[in-house]
Amino acid sequence: MAERAAPVGVMDSGVGGLSVLREIRHLLPQESLLYVADCGHVPYGEKSADYIRERCRHIAGFFREQGAKAMVLACNTATVAAVADLRGLYPDWPLVGMEPAVKPAAAATRSGVVGVLATTGTLQSAKFAALLDRFAGDVRVVTQPCPGLVECIESGDLHSPHLRRLLAGFVEPLLAAGCDTLILGCTHYPFLRPLLATWVPSEIAIIDTGAAVARQLQRLLRERELLASGPAREPAFWTSAEPQALGAVLPLLWGGSGSVQHLRP
Ligand code: DGL
């Protein structure tokens, strides 16, 4: 029986899930948080679903050893590949996944055209096709895979001329197609909001699901009477690559330093 004071495990292929971790900390400051960045295997976006499922099984097993009362797959690509598998393995463990914000975008658009920026893995998945069938309705959804963005963000590059050119190459065609709403369908991309704001017109809505995922975690914990009453322990970070590399970008992407340990293979 999990305890209220037990931690919540949050994972991503790398640093992207920190954008979700920030929302969880904001909504649920009393929760103790564990974060695994699978930086030794990033990016997930171009890898097979089987490969990603194995990584997620490994990390879920690690969180369970740490006594985590719940897990957040803070990665759209990992969710399409592995959430059903993990739910089958651990049917009673609260597990929150992510999906691109098609439903709110379809409700918000006035032009009737919505753009989705995400990884190839997410956009090619049956789960994404089902999401469109269910929520897109009459709205035209233009999809854009973005290879290369994740690597820049992993290295702490949020502003370079190279990144700006790469991003413009992905976003300009969506604007030209008439999109008035852009979905950030990868948890790395919210870190690009400041760069996007320097040239994307302010009337274009840019949405992601980090805050919604934090609310879903809150709902699941409340239903099971597992909400912590605090105080939270300091968040603990693990990476499957060099701890120094994650430690170096934490102040920029997390807003503080933290102890980073190496995740056993
Ligand atoms: N941050 C991840 C997502 O939300 C995946 C990025 C990657 O590793 O390709 O899809």
Cβ of 13 closer than 6 Å to ligand 1, yes or no, is: yes
- Between CA 38 and CA 97 the distance in angstroms is 16
Check whether 86 has a pLDDT greater than 80: yes
37 has which bridge partners? 12, 239
The residue behind tokens 């290879």 is 147
Are residues 95 and 70 in contact, defined by beta-carbon separation less than 8 angstroms? Answer: yes
Check whether 113 has a pLDDT greater than 60: yes
Which pair of tokens denotes residue 152?
């820049």
pLDDT tens figures, 20-57? 999 999 999 999 999 999 999 999 999 999 999 999 99
- Overall average pLDDT of the 208-233 stretch: 96
CB 56: neighbour CB atoms within 10 A?
25
Q: What mean pLDDT is reported for the chain? A: 97
User: Which atom of ligand 1 is found nearest the CA of 47?
Assistant: 9
224 has which bridge partners? none
| Cα 99 off chain centre by | 9
- Given the candidates 3.40.50.1860, 3.40.640.10, 1.25.40.10, 3.30.70.260, the CATH classification of the domain at 8-98+211-262 is 3.40.50.1860
Residue among 150, 152, 191, 239 whose CB has most ligand 1 atoms within 8 A, to mutate: 150
Is the bond leading into 104 cis (omega within 30 degrees of zero)? no
pLDDT grade for 258, boundaries at 50, 70 and 90 = confident
Are residues 44 and 265 in contact, defined by beta-carbon separation less than 8 angstroms? Answer: no
pLDDT grade for 1, boundaries at 50, 70 and 90 = low
Residue 75 bears catalytic tag: yes
pLDDT of residue 251: 96
Cβ of 150 closer than 6 Å to ligand 1, yes or no, is: yes
- Between CA 114 and CA 97 the distance in angstroms is 22
The residue behind tokens 């604007």 is 175
142 has which bridge partners? 115
Are residues 115 and 189 in contact, defined by beta-carbon separation less than 8 angstroms? Answer: no
Domain with CATH 3.40.50.1860 in the chain: 8-98+211-262, 102-208
pLDDT grade for 203, boundaries at 50, 70 and 90 = very high
CATH class of 102-208: alpha beta
Letter for the amino acid at 92? D
Residue among 18, 56, 72, 76 whose CB has most ligand 1 atoms within 8 A, to mutate: 76
State percent of the chain over pLDDT 90. 97
